[in-house]
Chain A
């Protein structure tokens, strides 16, 4: 079964535990600047939005890479950057429509979410379940369910 990261921004409080978990897993230090999941704060709207790679099935970044540094992890479906091959050309960062593959001056390579080999650390660190790791076929269904539940009273009112 393929699984996907599922993000519910409404639940996010902006604590950055996900960024620390991600950076610790990949660099050995708590370093939000090296995290491949980012929480954005929209101050005047009072909103927070965690955002990361959605692991496109047919991935722009992978197609754009001139040295085949991006490969698929067969066990998770994650698109994974090989540091040995990446030359830091940044073409993938232009190709990605979501901006979720990024260049790091610290390494001279690009970095993106690799789903931690199937056990994402950000999910475990999130205190409010704003980030979950779910069956890919179920992405979006919780929102559909919420809409469905709202439609019921309206439908009942119309019927009565």
Chain B
């Protein structure tokens, strides 16, 4: 079974918490977490609703393996209609919160309506109640976490909350749990704050024991752990360097975008790389990286715990930032660093701390500042717009000032809170927003890696690498090497990655396991935990069903094939120099084939035949 088969429905307008049975038919068709919550969302929310209105709902969902001893089995996701994109949003987080939900006996929490006053949800196993959060409103995510731990007098309480940026309506605020893990993208935290829901605090002591076939499950998860330990990426690369192992690799293959994606290749990449995080610094002889760290149940331990140089200008007078906290992951280091041209490791670590402390997405923030920097250098923005900040590419001082402006919610911070699409629209330069469906690109240049461009264009939550990480194949050769500049075979590759990822995101497992695991490692773990036959084929079919139900939500919300596109810069302005010199993304060569193999019309609509095949 593995599901607790219980959902908590929280009506914030009425102030009620009601337990209800999980729809097991849907669980069998959509597994859990991302898939199952997407099914609930599509059944309960009008795709055309205003994402920040009480009509939208926000779902926090675990997977069947969340809270079990499967490696990485601690994930949860936040599913809602996203305010940054207007598309379905699903942001996945690690840490310890998801497992705590499960230990408290809940598969899923559905939040609906809007509370008249700020509240937080307190869950202690079966006991659930909304409590006043009036005194928490205006506090950062870190302060909120500390205060709730004091209130509940239990260090084992796990907390998810929003910071000040979400309260101020920043469109890319995340939900922060365990202080430095985040359901980070698409503005899911902005939705949470729009409901006057400040935090969810959970204590679960019931345990997770409802495994369908325990001996089979234990055998499968032990086999999985052995594969992770023996694999070079999950056994060595990720624990040592985290995802930052990629900075020098991606730069080396000519696919690291720099300065608002004006070009690929960043001369300062080494200074902000995973390797640099190990280098002792001059002031105290300590490296940026204090230790690696695991999320719940994870035997990879890619997490970074870092400190900032106490003598660095950003924190020299701020002792509250002198301790260790969540350090740079690759995407954050790229967006905060390479895309803004800033190669100051301490400055971007500090801004990364702010992202966690006040709950905003480092990818969208970094890219938004990068777009603003380009407009500043073009003279479209001046110091009058920026509140005096000399917002030039490469200026660590300007970048830090921009981050602090966002946290303050005032002045230029209000512009930055819009995200790059609205910001560039506002100042009449829409072509400078590096986005798909309004969401900013991550750290792989689609001109230098063709397949990832198709994935960005078709990702259901807007530009995103973790919807179909074809970089694994196109650069790292996992599971097989494909040529990064080829378009042949890429539609098939993208579809395969997207469907498999949808399944992993619905199981309670971390996507990073798939550097080592194939579906033949994952399916047996689900099969041991859940009732019914969970073969590789069924897992892939469920993944494809999930992809299509998300697509249907977006189509019903008004998205069309016109939204499956890349910015003109990436289609027309070729990379200059380096290993990918002369390349643009050839999306037009891939998209029609992609629609065809998805079983969609040439307008990107799901055909009746495909709906029937997938029982949608």
Q: Are A and B interaction partners?
A: yes
* A-to-B contact residues, CB < 8 Å: 13-17, 20-21, 23-24, 27-34, 43-48, 106, 125, 127-128
Inter-chain CA distance A30–B325, complex, in Å, is 28
Is the pair B291, A30 in contact by a Cβ cutoff of 8 Å?
no
Interface string of B63-94 (1 = CB under 8 A from A): 00001110100000000000000000000000
> In the complex, given contacts A13-B294, A29-B209, what are 8 additional A-B residue pairs having Cβ atoms less than 8 angstroms apart?
A13-B239, A13-B291, A13-B298, A16-B96, A30-B208, A34-B205, A43-B179, A45-B324
- What residues of chain B lie closer than 8 Å to A34, measured between beta carbons? 205, 207
In the bound complex, residues from chain A placing their C-beta under 8 Å from that of B209 are 27-31
- Pick the 5 closest A-B CB pairs, nearest first: A31-B207, A29-B209, A44-B323, A29-B207, A46-B324
**A-binding segment of B107-115, B269-277, B299-307:** B299-307
B225 at the interface (CB under 8 A from A): yes
Complex contact B291–A46 (CB within 8 A) = yes
Encode B223-261 as 1/0 by CB contact (under 8 A) with A. Answer: 001000100000000010000000000000000000000
A127 close to B299 (CB less than 8 A)? yes
A residues in contact with B103, CB < 8 Å: 31-33
Q: Is the CB of B207 within 8 A of A33?
A: yes
Interface residues of B in 284-310 (CB under 8 A from A): 290-299, 301, 303, 305-307
Please report the C-alpha to C-alpha distance between residue A33 and residue B208 in the assembled complex, in whole angstroms: 11
Which residue of chain B lies nearest to A30 when distances are taken between CB atoms in the complex? B208
Which residues of chain B are within 8 angstroms of A46 by Cβ–Cβ distance? 290-291, 293, 305-307, 324
* B residues less than 8 Å from A28 (CB atoms): 209
Report A88 CB to chain B, min CB distance, Å: 17
Return chain B residues, CB-CB under 8 Å to A127. 71, 225, 229, 299, 301
Evaluate contact between A43 and B325: CB separation under 8 angstroms: yes
Q: Are B207 and A47 in contact (CB under 8 A)?
A: no
Instruction: Tell me if B53 counts as interface (CB < 8 A to partner A).
Output: no
A126 → B minimal CB distance (Å): 9
CA distance A63 to B307 in the complex (A): 46
A45-B324, A46-B324 known; A30 vs B294 contact (CB < 8 Å): no
Contact A16 B292 (CB under 8 A): no
What's the least CB distance linking B415 to chain A, in Å?
33
- Given the known inter-chain contacts A46-B307, A127-B299, please indicate yes or no for A20 contacting B69, CB distance below 8 A: yes
A15 to B205, CA, bound (A): 18
Complex alpha-carbon distance, A127 and B209, angstroms: 22
CB distance from A146 to the nearest CB of B (A): 18
Q: Which of A14, A45, A106 sits near B294, CB closer than 8 Å?
A: A14
The reply to whether B297 and A48 contact each other, CB–CB distance below 8 Å, is no
